[in-house]
Amino acid sequence: MEPEVYDEHASLERDHWWFVGRRAIVDAVLTRHLPPAADRRILDVGCGTGGMLPLLSTFGLVRGIEAEPLAVEHCRSAFGEFEVRLGSIPSEVPADGSIDVVTAFDVIEHIEDDLAALRSFREALRPGGAVVVTVPALGWLWSDHDVVNGHQRRYTRRRLIDVAQRAGFLVEHVSYFNTALLPIVAAARLAHRLRTRPVAPHSDFTMPPAWANSALTRVMGSERGIVSRTGLPVGVSLVAVLTR
């Protein structure tokens, strides 16, 4: 991809309601499930253009690994205070057992062998360490958005738990999120399938008008309390906390 594509993605990651809402939910989950520790070592796997690095830095000492060279360049330019290195996933995830927390936000759905990816995360962790992942949920929501973004699959709660347990993790917490907006997303997917005229494949990540972006941010972010505590039974995405 061209450098401007990463610039555009970084802008969306900063301001788009979905990314802002996801940050709010991840913040709540980390706050609830990670005890305070200033020297916690965090590795953000598949960190992309680095939009999660500032948030993660409030929970410990964070560094990133990313497979796309231009994304790494963007991280180093925009977030020079964090170490971000180039490396493929899962083969170049460090296996030295030195990491306290591995994070992978909407990453493993891109990897053909998600079991191998999770096993590599486990090898990176010290005993007692944790992995925090988010993934897209519900196979019946599959759309052009998944195709354009290179997804291999969407997950159910059961499927995510199963692959995590096969990788050797204990599942501490798992919840769906983006629940309130599920009916809107489902309706959009159905409408697209019912179109009689072909439409070029496209991503859902386009910036809506400011008023809509603000409203959608509030709706999605409002779930953060219940997602981090008891969890939600269905939603467009999943978040999980896994322990070694």
3-state secondary structure 113-147: CHHHHHHHHHHHEEEEEEEEEEEEECHHHCCHHHH
Distances (CA, A) of 81 to 36, 97, 99, 203: 22, 24, 19, 31
Residue 203 clears pLDDT 70, i.e. is over it: no
What stretches of the chain show up as alpha helix (H) in DSSP? Answer: 3-15, 17-33, 53-56, 69-78, 114-124, 144-148, 157-166, 182-194, 210-221, 224-228
pTM: 0.93
Residue 54 clears pLDDT 80, i.e. is over it: yes
- Where along the chain do its domains lie? 3-243
CA 5 to chain centre: 19
User: What is residue 191's predicted lDDT score, i.e. its pLDDT?
Assistant: 80
Share the mean pLDDT of the chain. 92
Note the pLDDT tens digit of each residue in 142-181. Answer: 988 899 889 999 999 999 999 999 999 999 999 999 999 9
Q: How many residues does the chain have?
A: 244
For strands 237-243 and 170-177, give the pairing: antiparallel
Residue 196 clears pLDDT 70, i.e. is over it: no
What stretches of 16-143 show up as alpha helix (H) in DSSP? Answer: 17-33, 53-56, 69-78, 114-124
Contact in structure between 180 and 222 (CB atoms under 8 Å)? yes
| Residues ≥6 apart with Cβ < 8 Å to 83 | 63, 64
Q: Is 58 exposed, middle or buried (0-12, 13-18, 19+ CB in 10 A)?
A: exposed
CATH superfamily of 3-243: Vaccinia Virus protein VP39 (3.40.50.150)
Note the pLDDT tens digit of each residue in 74-90. Answer: 999 999 999 999 999 99
Residue 120 clears pLDDT 80, i.e. is over it: yes
Note the pLDDT tens digit of each residue in 6-31. Answer: 778 888 999 999 999 999 999 999 99
| Better-predicted residue by pLDDT, 40 or 9 | 40
φ, ψ for residue 142 (rounded to 5)?
A: -55, 135
Residue 3 clears pLDDT 80, i.e. is over it: no
Contact in structure between 58 and 29 (CB atoms under 8 Å)? no
Contact in structure between 238 and 43 (CB atoms under 8 Å)? no
